[in-house]
């Protein structure tokens, strides 16, 4: 299924997404299509993206949306559940985990407020399974004051993600950056226009073999 083609042909609830997001979604989500997968979308909008994920991931997917707006409960249907609460509230997030289990994929399209994004990431990320994917979108707001952002502003999620690059490479910092659970369980970080994607995994022993034959 081509996700962007599905978006263009959508006749169901409204979906509002930047065009350049779609190749990113497919690049990082394609391995989960038609698998048993739990997808947590933070921010339900007008309900269309929940339906889009249901179509994309297929009949074995559980789609969970969270939002602060009670009207979003009306978006529930087969395979789609919605829970009402704040993304920055750890007790609420834990209640969602208790009910549905750890999500395989998180898509943060919620309040876009920097402190909310950071709080959600800190609470949820290490609870994802070892092959989980955590995607934060609309991070152009990290540069806008009304979302607690600003260029190089301490506390923005972009600045937080920049620091996590060092944590990803902690093994090579000669002890300057301690090796953390993030270091041990994150295999990659991907930066795009307005998006950051984190992929979890298990690190094998690091070594650098050499092959080939030197000319005589």
Measured CA to CA, the distance from residue 54 to residue 63 in angstroms comes to 7
pLDDT for the residue 216: 78
- pTM here is 0.95
Measured CA to CA, the distance from residue 32 to residue 105 in angstroms comes to 9
User: Domains of the chain, with CATH numbers?
Assistant: 3-67+80-200 (3.40.50.150)
Query: What are 151's two structure tokens?
Result: 């260029």
pLDDT for the residue 1: 85
CB atoms within 10 A of CB 147: 21
C-beta of residue 44 within 8 angstroms of C-beta of residue 75: yes
> pLDDT tens across 115-165, in order?
999 999 999 999 999 999 999 999 999 999 999 999 999 999 999 999 999
Question: CA 82 from chain center: how many Å?
Answer: 18
Measured CA to CA, the distance from residue 210 to residue 166 in angstroms comes to 26
Q: Which of 20, 28, 60, 112 is catalytic?
A: 112
* Three-state secondary structure string covering the chain: CCHHHHHHCCCCCCCCCCCCHHHHHHHHHHHHCCCCEEEEEECCCCCHHHHHHHHHHCCCEEEEEEECCHHHHHHCECCEEEEECCCCCHHHHHHHHHHHCCCCEEEECCCCCHHHHHHHHHHHHHHCCCCCEEEECCHHHHHCHHHCCCCCCCCCHHHHHHHHHHHHCHHHCCCCCCCCHHHHHEEEEEEECCEEEEEECCCCCCCCCCCCCCCC
pLDDT for the residue 85: 98
Active site residue 20: no
What parts of the chain have a pLDDT lower than 50?
none
């Amino acid at each position: 299924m081509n996700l962007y083609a599905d978006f263009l042909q959508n006749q169901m609830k409204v979906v509002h997404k930047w065009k350049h997001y779609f190749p990113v979604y497919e690049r990082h989500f394609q391995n989960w299509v038609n698998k048993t997968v739990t997808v947590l979308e933070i921010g339900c909008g007008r309900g269309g993206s929940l339906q889009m994920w249901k179509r994309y991931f297929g009949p074995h997917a559980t789609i969970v949306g969270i939002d602060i707006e009670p009207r979003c409960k009306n978006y529930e249907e087969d395979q789609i559940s919605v829970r009402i609460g704040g993304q920055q509230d750890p007790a609420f997030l834990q209640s969602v985990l208790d009910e549905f289990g750890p999500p395989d994929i998180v898509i943060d399209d919620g309040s876009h407020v920097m402190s909310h994004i950071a709080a959600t990431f800190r609470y949820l990320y290490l609870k994802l399974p070892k092959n989980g994917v955590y995607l934060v979108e609309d991070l152009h707001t990290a540069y806008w004051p009304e979302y607690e952002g600003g260029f190089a502003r301490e506390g923005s999620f972009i600045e937080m993600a920049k620091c996590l690059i060092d944590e990803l490479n902690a093994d090579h910092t000669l002890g300057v950056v301690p090796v953390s659970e993030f270091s041990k369980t994150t295999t990659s970080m991907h930066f795009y226009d307005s998006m950051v994607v984190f992929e979890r995994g298990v690190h094998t022993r690091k070594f650098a073999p050499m092959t080939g034959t030197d000319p005589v």
